[in-house]
Amino acid sequence: MKVRRNKPQKYQQTLLPLLILTITVTVVGADWPQWRGPNRDGVWRETGIGQSFETEQLPVRWRVKISSGYNSPVVANGRVYVMDYVTTPQSAERVHCFDALTGKAIWSYAYKCEYRNVSYPAGPRAAITVSENQAYSLGTMGHLYCFDARTGKVVWQRDLNQEYAIRMPTWGIAAAPLVIDALVIVQIGGREDACVVAFDKLTGQEKWRALDDGASYSAPIVIQQAGKKVFVVWTGERVVGLEPQTGKIYWEHPFKQLRGVHNIATPVWSGDFLFLSSFFDGSLLLKLNRQRLAVERVWRRFGSSERQTESLHCCISTPILKDNYIYGVDSYGELRCLELLTGERVWENREVVPIARWANVHLVQQDSLTWLFNEKGELIIGQLSPAGFREISRALLIRATNQQHPRGVCWAHPAFANKSVYARNDEELICVELGR
């Protein structure tokens, strides 16, 4: 197989200034209220965004001190929410709320939490989900909280590990809660058919439980198929479409992780297709039936090892499906383009992030541009096409720190809202304006 290895092209452009905003944008369309944005699809829908950087280090509007964690910040109604983990004076997970315009602390809540038998214990994984006036946090050991998003008052809470006897994944609970209508649904890997559990979002009362699978780290999504909403969850054994209101299985397809559960990337839905990719076990493309609730396999491809890969072996990063092509980051940081219908590799680029095991880049699409945040803390503006990756501009957003990984990384997904980017490492949360 011949592969084109494209290096980024350099372009001389007029640099667009980063202007200082004087008001907070609080409309829902400008928010980033949950994992990967308003629709969990990694699409940033704001306009009026700058298309290049003036400096090699982006100017920070505000920064606040926080502790370590893999948890992505989210932005809703003029506020930023994030979690972290501290070990002194006692081990505790914390939930923070800051003003999105100024970084001023609004409220924080801490609860005792000791990480037991969890690898990479740098902090919480799952992004907070904000829906209307509630904020839902899910900690590494399974502590689920519903807060009044404005005041930080605890509306209800549940210790899911104690209640459901979670078969704790190696890296703890990581999949962000998903709110659908009156329910908040979580993937936890509980025993007695409690891999997935749905709660009344206002009271915390259990409404249904489903599947006897072990949990994965992949955040569930909701799609539209055959005129119905379908809750899609990728467990440690299969990908399943459930009826959101009851947990009834609409369809399922096996995708068991043969070399240990390493499915972290979120399922990607585009039109008639659903795409999944994992670090050891490669990729799977399913076609959704338009007339009835069913799926069929288009292709499944994987290589002989984490270095000898076929198609795409994603780790932390979730791919993009665009114009009959798949763009994603392979096991050691290689940015790749695949043909959608075959999984054949079109090109590979090794310049976006230094090549290393689990090297990560988060991809966000904004109009014709792709914003890439790599694990070195760099923010890159570029364009993806079958012809290759065109790099337009690159600058340092936030310094990589070494609590998440010894080599120094930023693995938390940033949030894009209010014509700004919100990013965190193990020491601080920052806001940088990107409007023009």
CA distance 14 to 18: 13
Q: What is the pLDDT of residue 260?
A: 84
Contact assessment for residue 80 and residue 73, using Cβ atoms and an 8 Å cutoff: yes
Q: Which residues contact 292 (CB under 8 A, 6 or more apart)?
A: 226
Contact, 50 vs 420, CB < 8 A? no
Write down the pLDDT at residue 235.
Answer: 97
Per-residue pLDDT at 436: 81
Q: For every one of its 436 residues, what pLDDT tens digit does the chain have, with 9 covering 90 and above?
A: 334 444 433 333 322 332 223 223 333 448 999 999 999 999 999 999 999 999 999 999 999 999 999 999 999 999 999 999 999 999 999 999 999 999 999 999 999 999 999 999 999 999 999 999 999 999 999 999 999 999 999 999 999 999 999 999 999 999 999 999 999 999 999 999 999 999 999 999 999 999 999 999 999 999 999 999 999 999 999 999 999 999 999 999 999 887 889 999 999 999 999 999 999 999 999 999 999 999 999 999 999 999 999 999 999 999 999 999 999 999 999 999 999 999 999 999 999 999 999 999 999 999 999 999 999 999 999 999 999 999 999 999 999 999 999 999 999 999 999 999 999 999 999 999 998 8
User: Sign of the C-alpha dihedral, residues 35, 80, 58, 86?
Assistant: negative
What confidence score (pLDDT) does residue 52 get?
94
Instruction: Tell me how far apart the alpha carbons of residues 234 and 240 are, in angstroms, rounded to a whole number.
Output: 6
> Where exactly are the structural domains of the chain?
4-433
Q: Does domain 4-433 have CATH number 2.140.10.10?
A: yes
270 and 287 in contact (C-beta within 8 Å)? Answer: no
pLDDT for the residue numbered 179 = 98
Own/partner contacts of 37-40, CB < 8 Å, gap of 24 or more, are 37/364, 37/416, 40/178, 40/219, 40/221, 40/222, 40/266
Place of tokens 């899911």: 160
Q: How far apart are CA 436 and CA 433, in angstroms?
A: 9
Q: What angle do CA 424, 124, 196 make, to 5 degrees?
A: 130
pTM: 0.92
